Amino acid sequence: MSSRRIAVSLDAVVLAVTDETPRVLVTEVPGEPPGLPSGPLDVDDDATLERGLRRYVWEQTGLELGYVEQLYTFGDRDRAPDASTVRRLSVGYLALTGETTPTPGTRWLDVHDLLPWEDHRDGAPAILDEVQDALTTWADGHEDRQQRRALTFGPPWDGIRALERYELLYGAGLVAERFHDDHQDPPALPKSTAMRGDHRRILATAVGRIRGKLTYRPVIFELVTEPFTLLELQRTVEALSGVGLHKQNFRRLVLGSGLVEGTGETRSAGTGRPAQLFHYRPEVQLERPRPGLGQPYR
């Protein structure tokens, strides 16, 4: 087997939700766009890829990860710098955690600043029109492009296709990352925060993945602090899924799912009737085949 000039990096998309906002943990380097916590696979010391990843996140952000899941391995030669001297592979991971105070050099960014077209909690966001217009221009006269645009940006909107959307925007030259190597002035782009390398692509992969997983695995409970009210749970789901939900139906669904159990307690949030507090029931996994929050249920 060829073993020359391959470098493998481990990259973590660490997600949390606070103040009804989905956030991703990034490291800051002066003069560079924010990046994901990441580092090269230590061939000798990291017995598993995941172990190495946990180590980097710990070293770079002081965070001890809980839930971790591999996302995808990126290895396109032409989307990495230095392609002529080293072949870079990047193994992306998704991690879920409660938000913590960032250590120096790290920060939590609003995911919707990075992928603003993904936030549909109050209907389609304003920036989506801008994006659609730009894509329409881009697709003009190209049957296949029009089709890809219709498929990824809908209607109907499909939250799960976050990666396809980012890739389409990248291909259409509508995100700043596309122009980093060229050092040329990028044309006017829909406003969104760029990331280092192709980290935003990994983020988009993570967003799509978590949206899918929410429906059939109880991963949401990695993100809420116990005990929680049903509204807190709902807002957390909405922040990640990017769509607004019907309150009473969400209640019905969650209560009927066996996912949670009320503590007798209630908590008052200033105004309004105090809400009952709940905690997660891990036993649900033994009782039901795919415990999750089901389909979008607007």
User: Segment 246-285, which members bind DNA (CB under 7 A)?
Assistant: 246-249, 251-253, 266, 268-276
Cα separation, 163 vs 268, in Å, equals 39
Stretch that binds its own copies, among 24-32, 107-115, 155-163, 172-180 (CB under 8 A): 155-163
Instruction: Choose which of 32, 66, 123, 147 interacts with its own copies (CB under 8 A).
Output: 147
Cα separation, 200 vs 196, in Å, equals 8
Task: Identify whether the C-beta of residue 114 lies closer than 8 Å to the C-beta of residue 22.
Answer: no
Helix then strand count (H, E) for the chain reads 9, 8
Q: Which of 103, 266 has the CB closer to DNA?
A: 266
247, interface contact from its own copies, DNA, none, CB < 5-8 Å by kind: DNA
Report residue 80: phi and psi, to 5°: -125, 150
Q: Does 29 bind its own copies (CB under 8 A)?
A: no
13, interface contact from DNA, its own copies, none, CB < 5-8 Å by kind: none
Applying CB under 7 A, what is the total number of residues that bind DNA? 25
Stretch that binds its own copies, among 108-116, 149-157, 231-239, 253-261 (CB under 8 A): 149-157
In which residue are the tokens 């939700």 written?
17
Q: Does 87 bind its own copies (CB under 8 A)?
A: yes
Among 92, 84, 123, which Cα is nearest to 9's? 92
Give min distance, CB of 191 to its own copies, in A: 27
Cα separation, 276 vs 108, in Å, equals 30
- CA distances (Å), 228 to each of 147, 231, 269, 275, in order? 43, 8, 12, 9
Q: Does 298 bind DNA (CB under 7 A)?
A: yes
Q: Does 43 bind its own copies (CB under 8 A)?
A: yes
Give min distance, CB of 232 to its own copies, in A: 27
Cα separation, 152 vs 218, in Å, equals 26
In which residue are the tokens 């809980």 written?
66
Give min distance, CB of 4 to DNA, in A: 51
Which amino acid type is present at position 261? E
CA-derived radius of gyration, the chain: 20
**Which sign, positive or negative, has the C-alpha torsion 257, 260, 266, 272?**
negative
Q: Does 78 bind its own copies (CB under 8 A)?
A: yes
Instruction: Choose which of 229, 279, 281, 284 interacts with DNA (CB under 7 A).
Output: 229
Strands 275-280 and 260-267: antiparallel
163, interface contact from DNA, its own copies, none, CB < 5-8 Å by kind: none
Give min distance, CB of 151 to its own copies, in A: 6
Footprint on this chain of its own copies (rule: CB under 8 A): 1-9, 40-43, 46-49, 70, 72-73, 75-78, 86-89, 91, 147, 150-151, 154, 156-158, 160, 285-286, 289-290
Footprint on this chain of DNA (rule: CB under 7 A): 229-231, 246-249, 251-253, 266, 268-276, 294-298
